[in-house]
Structure 1
Amino acid sequence: MSKFKFIRDIKMIIYIIRKAKLFIAFLGMLLVHEHVSAQGKLSRQVDIPRYERTSIRQIFDSLSEKESFYFSFNSNLVNLDSLVTIRSYKGVLIDYLTLLLGERFSFKETMSHVLISYAPERMDVAANISSKESNRAMISGYVKDIRTNRAISNASVYERQAFLASTLSDNNGFFELDIKNPENLIAIALSKENYRDTSIILLLPVETFKSLKKRRVGYYQVNDADKTVYNNFFGDFFTSSAQKIQSLNLGGMFAYSPVQVSLTPGLSTHGFFQSQVVNNFSINIIGGSSAGVEGVELAGGFNITQYHVDGTQFAGVLNIVGGNVNGLQMAGVGNVVLHSLSGVQVGGVWNQVDTVKSGLQIVGAVNLGKEVKGTQIAGLMNSSQGRVRNQIAGGINSAKRVSGVQIAGLLNIADSSDYPIGVFNWIKNGTKQLSVGVDDSKFFSLNFRSGGRVMYSMIGFGLYLDDPVFKYGAEFGIGAHLMTTPKFMLSAELLQRTNFGDRFNLEDVQRISFRVVPAVYVSKKLQLYAAPSFHYSEAVESPTSKAVLWKIWQADRQRNTFHGGGTVGLTYVF
């Protein structure tokens, strides 16, 4: 045997061994994949009896109870009340579901759910590795419809193991995927709305096999297609059309990652796939997009989150969340949550949320919510289209039903609110009264009372009949109904009066009063009242002494006085 032939044989043996190692590693990965899949819900062996004219709802309920998971799907896809007859079955669950619903549906699974989606079409892909230079691999190929052989545009193509790269196919179905630090085996997945997901595995021509770093994945079921972050004005404005298409293709699928750093939604450590990644810690210099937050997210400008936030979210301008927020959300301008809030929301200008399950909304200007099982605090306005616990606003509060207190600098509006405090209150099922009366100081006034079944506000204006100094007076106060019967009402009021001269010049003399108002109905809408009262009146003329004088009836004009008094009048009840 010649020396050269011996060396050639040795090289051939080494080559065969290397190829065998790759093949064995590939088989090992497939076996591991099959073993993992076999533990999943869809790959379970099931034994299901025959069903005769049974609703799909009953079959789903039986499977859920027996196999300990839930089904999740768009209610428009499957009519649960449809009656079916289906033979007994032994085999894997996914094949039974296909037998039950048909080939036009696809199935995915989470830790607790089996997700059903409509996927009547199939796709095919031809791909190759064009280069592997500078520790990078370029995957390119074409996507086509397996039935019509036509190119499929805007299909999402992504690396499936670690979700490090993704792209969309062009109008010719062509795609290029640039993967940094590739492994020996590259798993590529393709997703497109109304198409069944497709996967391929490519082997790189390398000499050693590295361990695969597989990233944990999950799914989020979108039950209301009209309430997504991309249907919101700001979410639509700050995201590209390509991101919206990718989100539509991938549905609720997302991957987990510990850290994200972004300059803008298009320039991120997760690249084009960033809007499908849930991060533990995220820093967005100008703005960023993600599938969710389980930790902390910071942005100099804005954060756009497709699904949930569990933790803390800060933005210099705007936070937009398409799902739920559990924790703290703060923004210099506004916060938008399309589903529920359990925690605290703080905004500089406005907060908007569908449902506040528990917690607090605090804002400089406006809080908006459909239903708030918590408290709203706003500098200008609070609005809840349903229930709310408490509302405090410098201007206006508006709600359907308030279970706690409403405090407004100007106006409270509600169908039902027992404890409103404001200049005006317009409560549909509350108090609305107009009264005229005269008191111990010969002040003749017209007062309007408005509020809830318990508390109300009073505002009034009147004139003095024969006072040499005062001509007019304005009153504001709060009251409470202590007793209400068909014939009698007992109330208590605390009010303050400001006095004016004959040219409406303000006189710096105040009168603070507490009075008990018993009222008797003389007709269905008319009450007659006589209210004893206790007052503190400041001196009208220059005080002769700084000591406060106590009198049984009326004030002393030269002394600050605690004194008794009373008012009589008529009230019209709306």
Structure 2
Amino acid sequence: MTSIILNKHPMSKYYNFIKHLKIVIYIIRKSKLFAVSTLVMCFNSLSADAQNKLSDNIQLPKFEGATIREIFDVLKQDQSVLFSYNSQLLNLDEEVNVDRYQGLLVGYLEKLLGEKYSFKEANSHIIITYAPQRMDVSTVDMDTIKNNRTKISGYVKDIRTDMPVKFVTVYDGTAYQFSTLTDKSGYFELDVKNPAPTFTIAMSKENYRDTALVLLLPIEVSRKGKERKTGYYHASDSSKMISNTAFGRFFTSSRQRVQNLNLGGFFVYSPFQISMTPGLGTHGFFNSQIVNKFSLNIIGGYTAGVTGTELAGAFNVNQFDMQGVQFAGLFNVVGGDVRGFQAAGVSNVGLNKLSGVQLAGIWNSIDTVASGIQLTGGINLANNAVQGIQFAGVMNLAKSEVGSQFAGGINIAQKVRGVQLAVINMADSSDYPIGVFNWIKNGSRQLSLGLDESKFMGLSFRSGGRVMYSVLGVGTYLNDGHFKYGIEAGIGAHLIQRTSFTLSTELVHRTHFDEDLKYNDTNRSSLRVIPAMNLSRQLQVYAAPSLTYSEAIHPGLANKGVIWKAWGADQRRNTFHGGGTVGLTYRF
């Protein structure tokens, strides 16, 4: 039997373009069944799974003084491909000169950008990465073990320096179930269960071109490895990757983080997985690169993502996207987009977009709420939530724009398109803040001194947006034998705002105190309509009629019930009555 080894990208099946060819013949020792000699053919190539675009034949004219951006635009139009890369990797405005070309697309990209770049294909995208170095396997050894198990071992070295390469991710590129890292001497060892007759060892390391060995094993097996769909996740912002977050470092080992760095956005789809802890599950050390339809993590799990349902007793950690339903007793952490429903006893954390619902006992965090809702008993955090709504028991924070915010404590945002409802609302721009205190940078602020029909002289502070505002006031009665002081709180709305005239309305509640500042439970509430004339840009005078409900000062001296009066309250009866306030306002 002859075994053939092809050195290529781990996601590829076969690829026509061969850059370097070397043939090395070595003999694998005799197995218990028969003697085998093995022909080793190592091909260094650039490839990707189902690599149709990169192997397309293209024909392009000569470019002189053209930018890389312009050439990419031509390729996008002619070949219907999109390019993904780190924004710091390429200068698209760099001018280049490229001769007329006819051949494979991957060859043209190498000619355009240089041999230090690697190209991978995912759907209609071509992923460009920096890979100036090359690695190879100097020795491969295979031992047949009982129960359809094979141990594959070898050494990985740098082609240029011939030195061993440590921390290379070596994994099963056929069924994507097993993986390991090379040690300081470049040695690796894979214990493969039920291998197929054709078995792929894939190798990946940051700044190295991906390499794979396709082996025809010198053993007979009863079943073949299942074909699995692969994919690629591209994140241009490294700060939005799980391995670079405090959560990622806390829930994962250093070996897993090295593997994630080596494999980048490469992932595999699988129907299901079960794990006890990260790395201890049905997919072993390769868990973090597999997207599952169903994932059950007894304590916690670290996977590439989920496209169905994921359950955990304590925590779920996903490198890439979560699409579907995710439940955890403590934490859900997702490095990609969240599309669906997340629920956690403590916290949900997403590094990219939310299109769905986050529900947590204490804390929700997401970069962008594309569409959906954040619900928590504690704090909601989002950088941008234009199409989203935040509900929190304590605080909502949106660093940029947000749809609407509702909190028991504080709302903070840059721009609010809808409603803010909380005790305290703070924003650069918010037209409809409803709270005890509002501070809107681009909104309205007024300080008013007024006297009403009950001879109460008060100083009021009004602050809010262009439409809604809050009212806080304090004052004293000039001539009253029962009350001495009062404080007011309420909400208002600007109805008309002209150069010389404004019209507002507000609902205000007043609480009374005596000379010793003891609370008196006789309260009053007023609905005011406030027409005002502008004396200047800052000064206004106003005369505001009002409809007031006043509670009786001596309720036991008269019959129960409410009476109506045209002007002023009745001290012995609860009264609906007319009234008014005149005053002066300073706007700033």
Same fold? TM cut 0.5: yes
Aligned to 2:128, what secondary structure does the other structure show?
A: strand
Whole-Å Cα distance in 2 between the matches of residues 469 and 398 of structure 1? 41
Q: CA deviation at 1:310?
A: 1.4
1:510-558 Cα offsets, whole Å, 9 max, x none, are 2111111112223432221111111111111025222321111111111
CA distance in 2 between counterparts of 1:439 and 1:208 reads 96
| Farther-moved stretch of structure 1 (390-399 vs 435-444) | 435-444
Alpha-carbon deviations, 1:431-459, whole Å to 9, x = none?
Answer: 21111212111112121111111111101
Corresponding residue for residue 58 of structure 1: 70
Q: 2:569 aligns with which of 555, 561, 569?
A: 555
The answer (yes or no) to whether the contact 1:488–1:521 under 8 Å persists in 2 is: yes
Q: 5 Å matches for 1:131-280?
A: 131-207=144-220, 210-280=223-293
Shift of 1:262: 1.1
Q: CA deviation at 1:32?
A: 7.8
Mapping for residues 337-348 of structure 1, pairs under 5 Å: 337-348=350-361
Give the match for residue 457 of structure 2. Answer: 444
State the distance in 2 between where 1:478 and 1:37 align. Answer: 62
In 2, are the aligned partners of 1:73 and 1:223 still within 8 Å (CA)? yes
Instruction: Write the distance in 2 (CA, Å) between the matches of 1:256 and 1:235.
Output: 21
Measure, in 1, the Cα distance between the counterparts of 2:445 and 2:114.
Answer: 63
Residues 275 and 305 of structure 1 are in contact (CA less than 8 Å); yes or no, is this contact kept in structure 2?
yes
Name 2:106's counterpart in structure 1: 94
Residue 467 of structure 2 aligns with an amino acid whose one-letter code is V
Aligned counterpart, 2:9: none
Structure 2 equivalent of residue 416 of structure 1: 429
**Conservation of the 8 A alpha-carbon contact between 1:430 and 1:451:** yes
The verdict on how the C-alpha distance between 1:377 and 1:32 changes in structure 2, with shifts beyond 3 A counting, is: closer
Whether contact under 8 Å (2:239, 2:245) holds in the other structure is no
CA drift of 1:80 comes to: 1.8
Q: Which amino acid aligns with 1:53?
A: G
For 2:145, give the aligned amino acid. K
The Cα offsets for residues 253-309 of structure 1, whole Å up to 9 and x where unpaired, read as 101111011111121111111111111111111111111111111111111111111
Cα gap change, 1:197 to 1:459, in 2 (>3 Å) = same
Kept after mapping to 2: 8 A contact 1:301/1:316: yes
Q: Which residue of 2 aligns with 1:74?
A: 86
SS in 2 for 1:237: helix
Q: Which residue of 2 aligns with 1:380?
A: 394
CA–CA separation in structure 2 for the residues paired with 1:76 and 1:354 = 21
Q: Structure 1, unaligned stretches of length 5 or more?
A: 1-18, 24-30
Distance in 1 of aligned mates of 2:396 and 2:541:
37
Q: How does 1:395-434 map to 2 (within 5 A)?
A: 395-409=409-423, 411-434=424-447
1-structure distance, mates of 2:252, 2:573: 71
Task: Tell me the distance in 1 between the aligned counterparts of 2:456 and 2:319.
Answer: 63
- Write the distance in 1 (CA, Å) between the matches of 2:220 and 2:575: 101
Q: Which moved more, 1:35-44 or 1:521-530?
A: 35-44
Residues 406-434 of structure 1 deviation map (CA, whole Å, 9 limit, x = unaligned):
1112x111111111111111111112111
Residue 236 of structure 2 aligns with an amino acid whose one-letter code is: N
- Write the distance in 2 (CA, Å) between the matches of 1:32 and 1:432: 68
Which residue of the partner structure matches residue 43 of structure 2?
A: none
Map of 1:567 onto structure 2: 581
Q: What are the Cα deviations for residues 211-262 of structure 1, in whole angstroms up to 9, with x where unaligned?
A: 4422111111121122211111111111111111111111111011110111
Deviation at 1:81, TM superposition (A): 2.0
* Deviation, structure 1 residue 33: 4.0
Aligned residue in 1 for 2:377? 364
C-alpha distance in structure 1 between counterparts of 2:73 and 2:583, whole Å:
68
- 2:428/2:441 contact within 8 Å kept: yes
Q: 1:210: Cα distance to partner?
A: 4.1
Contact 2:202 2:211 in 1 (8 A): yes
Query: Mean alpha-carbon deviation: is it higher for 36-45 or for 313-322?
Result: 36-45
Distance 2:208 2:179 in 1: 18
Letter in 2 for 1:377: F
Q: CA deviation at 1:34?
A: 5.5
Paired position in structure 1 for 2:545: 532
2:116 and 2:181 map into 1 onto residues whose CA distance is 24
CA distance in structure 2 between the aligned counterparts of 1:37 and 1:377, rounded to whole angstroms: 44
Amino acid at match of 2:479: D
CA deviation digits over 1:175-222, x for unaligned, max 9? 111111111221101111111111112233334674442211111112
Question: Secondary structure, in 3 states, of the residue corresponding to 1:235?
Answer: helix
- Report what 2:141 is aligned to: 128
Percent identical residues: 55
- Inter-partner Cα distance in structure 2 for 1:442 and 1:53: 82
Distance 1:378 1:324 in 2: 22
The equivalent residue for 2:117 is 105
Q: Which moved more, 1:181-190 or 1:93-102?
A: 93-102
Deviation of 1:78 after TM superposition, in Å, equals 2.3
| Paired residue type of 1:438 | L
**Which deviates more from structure 2 when the two are superposed, residues 69-78 or residues 395-404?**
69-78
8 Å contact from structure 2 (residues 195, 221) kept in 1: no
Counterpart of 1:541 in structure 2 is 554
Measured against aligned partners, the alpha-carbon deviations of 1:146-191 in whole angstroms (never above 9, x if no partner) come to 1111110000000101101000000010111111111122110111
Change (3 A) 1:37 1:175: closer
Alpha-carbon distance between aligned partners in 2 of 1:289 and 1:39, rounded to the nearest angstrom:
29
Shift of 1:362: 0.9
The answer to whether structure 1 residue 505 and structure 2 residue 514 are counterparts is no
2-structure distance, mates of 1:350, 1:454 = 31
Is the 8 Å Cα contact of residues 124 and 144 (structure 1) preserved in structure 2?
yes
Could you tell me which of 87, 94, 115 is aligned with 2:127?
Answer: 115
For 1:518-529, what aligned pairs fall within 5 Å after superposition?
518-529=531-542
- How far does residue 39 in structure 1 lie from its aligned partner after superposition? 6.2
Query: Counterpart amino acid of 1:87?
Result: D
CA 1:199–1:236: 2 relative to 1, 3 Å? same
Indicate the RMSD between aligned Cα atoms, in angstroms: 1.9
2:329 matches 1:316: yes
Question: Structure 1 residue 508: deviation in Å?
Answer: 2.0
Higher mean alpha-carbon deviation, 536-545 vs 443-452, is at 536-545
Question: Where is the helix percentage greater, Structure 1 or Structure 2?
Answer: 1
CA distance in 2, matches of 1:488, 1:167: 76
**Could you say if the C-alpha distance between residues 32 and 342 of structure 1 is closer, same or farther in structure 2, counting changes exceeding 3 Å?**
closer
- The residue that corresponds to 2:23 in the other structure is none
Report the alpha carbon displacement of residue 79 of structure 1 after superposing the two structures with TM. 2.1
2:406 counterpart (386, 392, 395): 392
Q: TM-score, normalised by structure 1?
A: 0.92
CA–CA distance in structure 1, aligned partners of residues 90 and 470 of structure 2: 54
Query: Partners in 2 of 1:336 and 1:364 — Cα distance?
Result: 15
Q: TM-score, normalised by structure 2?
A: 0.90
Instruction: Tell me if structure 2 keeps the 8 A contact 1:187–1:199.
Output: yes
Whole-Å separation in 2 of the counterparts to 1:515 and 1:223: 55
Looking at structure 2, the residues matched to 453 and 210 of structure 1 have their Cα atoms a distance apart, in angstroms, of 71
Secondary structure at the residue paired with 1:244? Answer: helix
Residues 573 and 539 (structure 1), Cα distance of their counterparts in 2 relative to 1, 3 Å cut: same
SS of corresponding position for 1:242: helix
- 564 and 241 in structure 1: CA distance in 2 versus 1, 3 angstrom threshold: same
Q: Give the length in aligned residue pairs.
A: 547
Higher relative CO (CA 8 A, sep ≥ 6), structure 1 or 2? Answer: 2
- Residue 317 of structure 1 and its aligned partner are, at CA, apart by 1.0
